[in-house]
């Protein structure tokens, strides 16, 4: 009988939030998770990378955070958002209070990687190696029975993010990784080079970051759906006639035209669909300038705007 390996996990595209959704999410996340969530979106770090930060990794004076042994095993430097400098300094005061409490209680230091723990057995008890985001409660080691302070719980952070997304009315599957994807997407939308985004994310290969450019191309309409083209061709004759009917029916004072409430048919549908402003194609420029049809010039010279009441 042939041996079978473990089933491969199916790929799932992580949701990308809009800037408005990110803002609503950040407002809804409770403390102490709020600062972590802001840091995830502000730096593009993975959740585990953020929770495993040590005090020595945060350089407030330089606005830099050092991420060691990220998802690909390589370290990198990311920016510390200026808006988080003061909250981070205040939070480190709370973290130091917990560290001093542990030292007074004689607890062992925080967890250290095996190699470092063997070479520097007392480093875990120093302030430099203390967690940036320590848990308020201590845990007990199963082997030794010693009390040790862990960092914040990943599951708790993920739960707070899901609950905040629901409270903010975000109808997407939102997790901590959504903030990392949103960070990269919003930087690219702002004109940041792909290589810079790639370095901030800690992705050694450009192919790993191309998913964000693909999302941007789709969102920007680089590839147009044939259904949209079909809808334009079908709607054009009806609404071109309606636009001519609308121009002919407009009359008013003060350089702006108002649409009579009696306008109906296709013209009425056009008025309802334009929410107060109808852009008339250049083909109707002559009709718009005809006597009795008062119009207001648009900022775009090739169009004419007819204001609807």
Give domain status of residue 4, yes or no.
no
Which residue's structure tokens are 């119009």?
295
User: Which of these three, 192, 218, 244, is where a domain ends?
Assistant: 218
Verify that 232 and 203 share a domain, yes or no.
Answer: no
Mean of pLDDT values over 170-193: 92
Mean of pLDDT values over 147-174: 95
Domain extent at residue 58: 19-218
Verify that 73 and 214 share a domain, yes or no.
Answer: yes
Strands 139-140 and 147-148, sheet pairing = antiparallel
Mapped onto helix, strand or coil, the DSSP state of residue 54 is strand
Beta bridge partners of 305: 279, 296
Nearest Cα to Cα of residue 78 among 42, 38, 43: 43
Mean of pLDDT values over 237-255: 55
Verify that 202 and 245 share a domain, yes or no.
Answer: no
Give domain status of residue 11, yes or no.
no
**Which helix (H) or strand (E) element contains residue 96?**
helix 85-105
- 33 or 262: which carries more pLDDT confidence? 33
Specify the number of domains making up the chain.
2
**pLDDT over 90, % of the chain:** 44
With b for 16 or more beta-carbon neighbours within 10 A and e for fewer, the 89-104 pattern comes to eebbeebeebbeebee
Mean of pLDDT values over 43-69: 93
Verify that 205 and 77 share a domain, yes or no.
Answer: yes
Verify that 66 and 163 share a domain, yes or no.
Answer: yes
Q: For residue 217, what pLDDT band results from cuts at 50, 70 and 90?
A: low
User: Which of these three, 218, 238, 271, is where a domain ends?
Assistant: 218
Is residue 2 pLDDT above 70, yes or no?
Answer: no
Mean of pLDDT values over 257-264: 47
134-140 — which CB contacts under 8 Å span 24+ positions?
Answer: 134/95, 134/98, 134/99, 134/110, 136/32, 136/98, 138/102, 138/107
Instruction: Tell me the pTM.
Output: 0.65
Verify that 251 and 178 share a domain, yes or no.
Answer: no
- What's the pLDDT score for residue 85? 94
Phi first, then psi: what are they for 151, rounded to 5°?
A: -85, 175
Verify that 49 and 196 share a domain, yes or no.
Answer: yes
- What's the pLDDT score for residue 156? 94
- Give the least confident one: 118-132, 149-163, 248-262, 295-309: 295-309
Mean of pLDDT values over 182-207: 84
Calculate the average pLDDT of the chain.
Answer: 75
Mean of pLDDT values over 264-293: 48
pLDDT in tens, 61-100: 999 999 986 555 678 899 999 999 999 999 999 999 999 9
**Which helix (H) or strand (E) element contains residue 198?**
helix 194-201
Verify that 25 and 153 share a domain, yes or no.
Answer: yes
User: Which of these three, 170, 199, 218, is where a domain ends?
Assistant: 218
Verify that 164 and 298 share a domain, yes or no.
Answer: no
Verify that 209 and 244 share a domain, yes or no.
Answer: no
Contacts of 19 (CB under 8 A, 6+ apart): 186
Is residue 21 pLDDT above 90, yes or no?
Answer: yes
The CA distance from 264 to 122, in Å, is 83
Verify that 69 and 182 share a domain, yes or no.
Answer: yes
Q: For residue 306, what pLDDT band results from cuts at 50, 70 and 90?
A: very low
CATH number at residue 51: 1.10.443.10
44: left (phi over 0), alpha (psi -120 to 50) or beta: left
* The two structure tokens encoding residue 179: 């903030």
Q: For residue 309, what pLDDT band results from cuts at 50, 70 and 90?
A: very low
Verify that 184 and 46 share a domain, yes or no.
Answer: yes
Q: For residue 244, what pLDDT band results from cuts at 50, 70 and 90?
A: low
Burial (0-12, 13-18, 19+ Cβ within 10 Å), 82: exposed
Are 301 and 245 contacting, i.e. CB atoms less than 8 angstroms apart?
no
Mapped onto helix, strand or coil, the DSSP state of residue 297 is strand
The CA distance from 25 to 38, in Å, is 10
């Amino acid at each position: 009988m042939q041996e079978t390996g473990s089933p491969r996990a199916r790929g799932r595209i992580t949701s990308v939030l809009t800037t408005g959704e990110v803002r609503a999410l950040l407002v809804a996340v409770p403390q102490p998770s709020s600062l972590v969530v802001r840091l995830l979106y502000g730096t593009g770090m993975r959740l585990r990378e953020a929770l495993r930060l040590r005090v020595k990794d945060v350089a407030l004076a330089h606005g830099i955070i050092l991420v060691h042994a990220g998802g690909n095993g390589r370290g990198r430097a990311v920016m510390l958002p200026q808006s988080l400098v003061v909250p981070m300094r205040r939070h480190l005061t709370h973290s130091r209070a917990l560290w001093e409490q542990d030292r007074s209680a004689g607890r062992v230091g925080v967890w250290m990687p095996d190699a470092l723990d063997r070479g520097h057995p007392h480093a875990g008890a120093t302030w430099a190696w203390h967690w940036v985001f320590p848990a308020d409660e201590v845990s007990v080691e199963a082997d030794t029975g010693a009390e040790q302070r862990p960092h914040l719980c990943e599951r708790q952070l993920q739960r707070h993010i899901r609950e905040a997304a629901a409270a903010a009315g975000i109808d997407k599957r939102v997790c901590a990784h959504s903030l990392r994807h949103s960070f990269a997407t919003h930087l690219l939308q702002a004109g940041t080079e792909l290589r810079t985004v790639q370095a901030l994310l800690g992705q050694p290969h450009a192919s790993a970051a191309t998913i964000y450019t693909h999302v941007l191309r789709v969102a920007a309409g680089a590839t147009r759906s044939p259904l949209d083209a079909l809808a334009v061709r079908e709607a054009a004759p009806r609404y071109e006639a309606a636009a001519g009917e609308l121009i002919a029916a407009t009359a008013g004072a003060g350089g702006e035209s108002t649409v009579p409430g009696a306008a109906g048919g296709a013209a009425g549908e056009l008025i309802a669909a334009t929410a107060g402003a109808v852009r008339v194609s250049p083909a109707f420029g002559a009709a718009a300038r005809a006597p009795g049809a008062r119009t207001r010039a648009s900022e775009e010279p090739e169009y004419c705007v007819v204001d609807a009441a």
